[in-house]
Structure 1
Amino acid sequence: MERTTVVFKGRAYGEVELFTDEIKAGKMDIAITNGRLTVFHTEVAPEFEGRGFAKLLLEKLVNYAKEKSLKIIPLCPYVNMQFRRHPGEYGDVWEKNWH
């Protein structure tokens, strides 16, 4: 059974973590500043690739941002690609003007 959680290591930096059968299978590196959630990197352990775990991490990230009224800056190539492919699904949390 998979579960995802958001964990902060300090005031601003943290991870979205995914566990399967109590084994950490993947994570996203994130930071929150000024009402924006920046996602830097998504990683799924090689032995868990191809099981949709990156998508589960993305769902947790987006739900967390919605719960906390945060906009997401998608520096992570995976998240950026998903936002660009599905702007209707992620448009409400996507911070497009962050440059």
Structure 2
Amino acid sequence: MTEGLTDRTGASVTIRLDPASPIGSYAVSVADGSPAGRADFVDSPDVAGERIFFHTEVAEEFGGRGLAGLLVREALADSIREHLTVVPVCPLFARHLSRHGDEFVADGGVFRRPRPADLVLVERATRAGA
């Protein structure tokens, strides 16, 4: 769990990792504990150390506070700490890495472009988790 973060309004937020299977997530909540959003991922069962981020969302009432960016940055920082290769299927993760990928790599991060097999894995996981 990461505490001590603040959103664009200066409000305190917490990001928590839920490594559930088949779909894990990083969940952001506001100071009163209300859930505000999440970034979903699947850990590859075939390739050790690969995390496929495929969906990020923030509840409409929390929009504009920078929570999605906090989720992405914390998930990527955690991936560096855990020595995981990031596979950005989620457009938000892909856009962040296209803009800041050099910084991510310089900080010790590793990422690769998604392959068709990654999309199949995400589809299978989302069906199993439904």
Question: What is the TM-score normalised by the length of structure 1?
Answer: 0.89
Count of paired positions: 97
Residue in structure 2 matching 1:15, options 7, 25, 38: 25
Alignment partners' CA distance in 2, 1:93 and 1:66: 8
Matched, 1:67 2:81: yes
Measured after TM superposition, the shift of residue 42 of structure 1 is: 0.5
Aligned to 1:32: 43
Measured after TM superposition, the shift of residue 60 of structure 1 is: 1.4
More strand by proportion, 1 or 2?
1
Residue in structure 2 matching 1:55, options 61, 69, 72: 69
Question: What is the TM-score normalised by the length of structure 2?
Answer: 0.69
Counterpart of 1:8 in structure 2: which amino acid? P
Query: 1:28·1:43 contact (CA, 8 Å) conserved in 2?
Result: yes
Query: 1:62·1:93 contact (CA, 8 Å) conserved in 2?
Result: no
- Rg: which structure is higher? 2
Measured after TM superposition, the shift of residue 37 of structure 1 is: 0.6
Percent identical: 28
Equivalent positions of 1:81-92 (< 5 A) are 81-91=95-105, 92=109
Measured after TM superposition, the shift of residue 89 of structure 1 is: 1.9
Cα deviations by residue, 1:51-94 (Å, 9 ceiling, x for unpaired)? 11011101111121111100100000111011111221223322
More helix by proportion, 1 or 2?
2
Structure 1 portions without partners, runs of 5+: none
